[in-house]
Amino acid sequence: MSKKKKIGIMGGTFNPIHFGHLLLAETAYHQFHLDGILFMPTKNPYYKKMTNSVTEKDRAAMVQIAISLNEHFHFSGEELRREGATYTVETLRNLTKKTPDCDYYFIMGADSLYHIESWKEPAAILSMAVILVAGRGNSLSGALTSQIEYLENKYDAAIHYLNSPMLEISSSDIRRRIRAGESIRYLLPREVADYIYANDLYRT
């Protein structure tokens, strides 16, 4: 029996993708000895209203540009192909059905872990994926430790702390800087910035 591949999932709107996303994924890859990371832009997240000024095609293109030079980062259009609101539980069901030879490691921030019980079918999510959670700062807080223990005990879940340096970069701040005519240099890959300016994104 062949050993299952360990695949990380880095989801998000990526509007736009930045160095914070890339560093988190790279840290997960090395810390948990993963075989690869899927970067998966979400289509219509139920929890966030998407701006109409940037298309799905633009967000996907920026992700593909950002990860193109990393051989263990891979683009996934899994959620973009689905109609309507996208839910993590449906994504994991589709992936585990299509690729039963893979174990999935879902990367998320501490804020998401605190709210995961409000997600659709949290028990199913926690049964289909190992959760890799990144805190704020590079130490494990008491509150986050308590939340991990609570979820592990309630759902028999596997949740691990992702010891990643935290870059205080946000997509919303990058969008604000572009609107204000401020520099976005060193916040995201130069090639992504070039794409943004060439396509006049986030100006209004």
Residue 128, amino acid: M
Mean pLDDT of all residues in 70-74: 98
Q: In 10 A of CB 98, how many CB atoms?
A: 9
Mean pLDDT of all residues in 18-42: 97
Q: What is the pLDDT of residues 106-130, one digit of tens each?
A: 999 999 999 999 999 999 999 999 9
Residues 6+ apart with CB under 8 A from 36: 5, 7, 8, 29, 72, 73, 74
Under a CB-based contact definition with an 8 Å cutoff, are residues 138 and 176 in contact?
no
Among 97, 101, 147, 100, CA closest to 122? 147
Q: How far apart are CA 174 and CA 35, in angstroms?
A: 31
Q: In 10 A of CB 58, how many CB atoms?
A: 18
Is the pLDDT reported for residue 48 higher than 60? no
Is the pLDDT reported for residue 52 higher than 60? no
- Which tokens belong to 197? 């300016």
- Which tokens belong to 77? 């259009």
